[in-house]
Chains A and B, each alone.
Chain A
C-alpha cells in the first residue's frame, strides 16, 4: 500500500535516473546505466553496472530489500521482517527528485519512518560515496561526473576562477 503510493509518485515526477526499463525488471540486468541526465551543473555519465556487480557481489548492498534478499537493516526489520520483495528496483522508483517541494512534503506520511527517506540525489550520493570510502573508490565530484561549463561558472572554477587575489586582511572577518 505504502509502496504503491511511492511508486506512483515516482512515475509522476520528472526523472533523474534514466535507464532501467521497468518492464524488463528481473529479467535483464543492464550492464551500463546513464546517470545524472537532469543536472545542469554536471554532465550525464555512464555508470558501469556490470563492474559494480562484480565488485560487490551482493545486490542488496545497493538495492536494499528489492532484489530477492530479505530486509537486513535492523531498523527496517522491526516492521518489515516478513515483508515480501518490493516491485521497484530502480532507485528513482522510490526516491523522489524533489523531496522538499511542498507537494512532496505534504505527501510524506508523518506516522511512518519513511518520512526521513532521502531524495534520489542524496540516496545515490550517500550510497555511492559511503561505499567508495570503505572500498577506497574515487571520491571527487568530477571522478564520476564532469562539470559542465555552467557548473564551472557556478563554482567560480576553471575558466571562471576569481582573477583578483583577495587583498590580505580585508573581508575575511577576523
Chain B
C-alpha cells in the first residue's frame, strides 16, 4: 500500500474523488484503487497468505462443529463445560474491549478532548472485541439459534448470565450506534451522523453503566463455582471487582497495542492529526493503565489477605499465580513508571502488550487452567478447539483491518465543504509528506492531478 501511495494512488478520506466527482461505493471499498491494483497489493502482502492458510484449515473445522456437534471439536468434558472458546474468546476478549467505554467516558463525560484522536479506535476496538466474543459464544453454545431466548422466551432474572446477556446485547447496540458515526460519514449519510451525535452523551453514560455491570458480571459468574475456581483466583466478595478493574488497563493497553501494530503496518492510513498526537495519547493511556494496574494489584492483595490465602502462594499453583501477576501487573507497572517518566515509547508499547497477555493469562487461569483444581485431571483443549480459536481470532483481525483501512478511524473525514475549502486553499495549507515526489508523477487526466493534489492535502 505504501508503494502504491508513493506511486500516486490516493486514499479515500472525503466524499469527493475530485472537485466534480464523488467516490462511488465500489471505489471506496477498493480504497480508491483499481481492482487489479487492489488485488495486487493484497497478494503482495505475505500476511494475507498466512491468513489464507489459517482459513483453509480453520473454516472447514468451524463448519464441522455445526454439522458434527461439539464433541467433534472439543473433548466434550462434563467437568470442564467451559473450554477454550469461552475462556479465551469470551472471558479473554471482553476485558480487552473495555476501551470503548473508557475512551468514550474520558472524551465525552470528563471532557478530555486531548484523547479524541484515539477515541474512535477505542470505540471500534470495543465493538469488535464484543462482537467476536459473541461469535465465540455462538460457537460454544449448544443451541446457538436460541441465543435470543433470554430476551424473549424465558427469563431467569436472578442469574448473573441473564445480566450479561442483556448488558452485552444492549451494549453491543450502543457501541454499534457509537461506531456508526464513522460508517455514516464514510457512506455519506449525514442525517445519521447528526442523529447519533445528539444522543452521544446518553449512549456514553449507558455504556458506562452496562460496562461496569457486565465486566463485573463476567467475574461474578465464577462466584457460582466457589469450590472449583482455585482460591487464589477466587474471592466471593471481590471477584467482580477484580474483573472490572483489570478490564481498565486491559482495554487501554489493547488500544495501545492495536495502534502500535497499525503504525507499523498501515501508517499510510493515519492523518496528520493522528500522527502528531499518537505518542502523546499513548503516554496518557499508559498513565491511565498504570493507575488501573495499581488498583488491581491492591485489591488482588487485599482479597488474598481478606481470606488469608497466603499459604497457597507456596504451592505450585501459587508460583503460577505469581508468574501471572509478574507478567500482567508488576513488570508492566514498573516499566510504565520508568517509561512514562522518560518518555520511552517503545517500552510503553512493550509493556502494554504484556498487560494484554497478562489479562488473557488471568482469564485462562480462572476459567480453564486452574479450574477444578480439586480434580486430578486437567483439561487440555482438543486441537480442533485450538484451530477454531485461531481462525476466529484471525477473522477478527481481518475484519479489524478491513474497517481500519476504510472507515475514518485513524483519520478525519472531510465534508464536502472542507474538501472544497482545502482544495481552494491548497497553496497555504499543504503539508508536504514524504511521498511528495508522487506529485511529479506523470498524470494523464485532470482528475488524476486532482487526486495527487488531494493526497498531499491531509
Task: Give A residues with C-beta under 8 Å from B.
Answer: 169-171, 173-174
Contact at B79–A174, with CB atoms within 8 Å? yes
Contact with A along B68-108 (1 / 0, CB 8 A): 00010001111100000000000000000000000000000
Give the total of B residues in contact with A, Cβ under 8 Å: 7
The CA-CA distance from A63 to B71 in the complex, in Å, is 56
The CA-CA distance from A83 to B195 in the complex, in Å, is 93
Chain A residues positioned under 8 Å from B75 (CB to CB): 169
Chain A residues positioned under 8 Å from B377 (CB to CB): 174
The DSSP consensus for interface residues of chain A is: loop
Question: Can you list 9 A-B pairs, Cβ within 8 angstroms, ordered by A?
Answer: A169-B75, A170-B71, A170-B76, A171-B76, A173-B78, A173-B79, A174-B77, A174-B79, A174-B377
The CA-CA distance from A103 to B169 in the complex, in Å, is 53
Residue in A169, A171, A173, A174 with the greatest tally of chain B CB atoms within 10 Å: A174
Contact at B77–A173, with CB atoms within 8 Å? yes
Chain A residues positioned under 8 Å from B71 (CB to CB): 170
The CA-CA distance from A8 to B77 in the complex, in Å, is 53
The CA-CA distance from A46 to B75 in the complex, in Å, is 51
Q: Considering the complex, which residues of chain B in the window 45-84 have a beta carbon less than 8 Å from any beta carbon of chain A?
A: 71, 75-79
CB distance from B376 to the nearest CB of A (A): 9
Chain A residues positioned under 8 Å from B77 (CB to CB): 173-174
The CA-CA distance from A171 to B72 in the complex, in Å, is 12
The CA-CA distance from A169 to B78 in the complex, in Å, is 12
The CA-CA distance from A173 to B375 in the complex, in Å, is 12
The CA-CA distance from A174 to B77 in the complex, in Å, is 6
The CA-CA distance from A174 to B78 in the complex, in Å, is 7
Chain B residues positioned under 8 Å from A170 (CB to CB): 71, 76
Known: A169-B75, A174-B77. 8 other contacts (CB 8 A): A170-B71, A170-B76, A171-B76, A173-B77, A173-B78, A173-B79, A174-B79, A174-B377
Chain B residues positioned under 8 Å from A171 (CB to CB): 76
CB distance from B64 to the nearest CB of A (A): 16
CB distance from B228 to the nearest CB of A (A): 15
